[in-house]
Amino acid sequence: MLTRRLRAENRAPSARALSTGFIEGRRLSFDKLSKDGSGKCDAEPTGDRSHRVYGVVFEVSYQEEHALDLAEGLGWGYAKQLIHVTTETGLIEAMMYVAKRKNRLLRPYHWYKEITIAGALEHGLPPGYVEWLRAVESIEDHDHRRRVAHEALLSK
């Protein structure tokens, strides 16, 4: 959700936030198996319409879609799914990455959780949701170079 992370690392420099909103019948989990061994985000289906995952709908240039797919791990850890996002102005149809490989024992790295929180704050997601994110258990990333590179996105 953090715009500067989405635009960095040649992911999607054209990324532009269109709206915030939520998807019903899902809950946010941090158990998507990442190549770095940590847990990443997934909007896990629950079937309970009272469950919501809040987020941001971005517009990305078609020419950058392949680079974003590679950065996100499309085909290895994520698949794409068409979803409906409830926004202030109505429903928006959007594409979302959904986890293919999960492990409930995984935890996100501290920096990943902080980037998620920073994106939620940047886009004004509900305060209660931000507090829930802050309460998510996270772990230290012992790869100093990777940790420092990602933490740098928080101080820009």
Please provide the distance, in angstroms rounded to a whole number, between the alpha carbons at the two ends of the chain: 15
* pLDDT above 90 (res 9): no
**Which contiguous run of DSSP H or E holds residue 74?**
none
Q: Averaged over 91-119, what is the pLDDT? A: 96
Confidence category of residue 45, pLDDT binned at 50, 70, 90 = very high
Q: What is the pLDDT of residue 72?
A: 87
Q: What is the pLDDT of residue 27?
A: 97
* pLDDT above 90 (res 74): no
Rg of the chain's alpha carbons, rounded to an integer? 15
Q: What is the pLDDT of residue 40?
A: 96
Q: What is the pLDDT of residue 15?
A: 94
* pLDDT above 80 (res 156): no
**What are the structural domains, with CATH classification, of the chain?**
3-152 (3.10.490.10)
Residue matched to tokens 């629950």: 46
Q: Which residues of 41-77 are buried (b: 16+ CB within 10 A; e: fewer)?
A: bbbbeeeeeebbbbbbbbebeeebeebbbebbbbeeb
Q: What is the pLDDT of residue 71?
A: 87
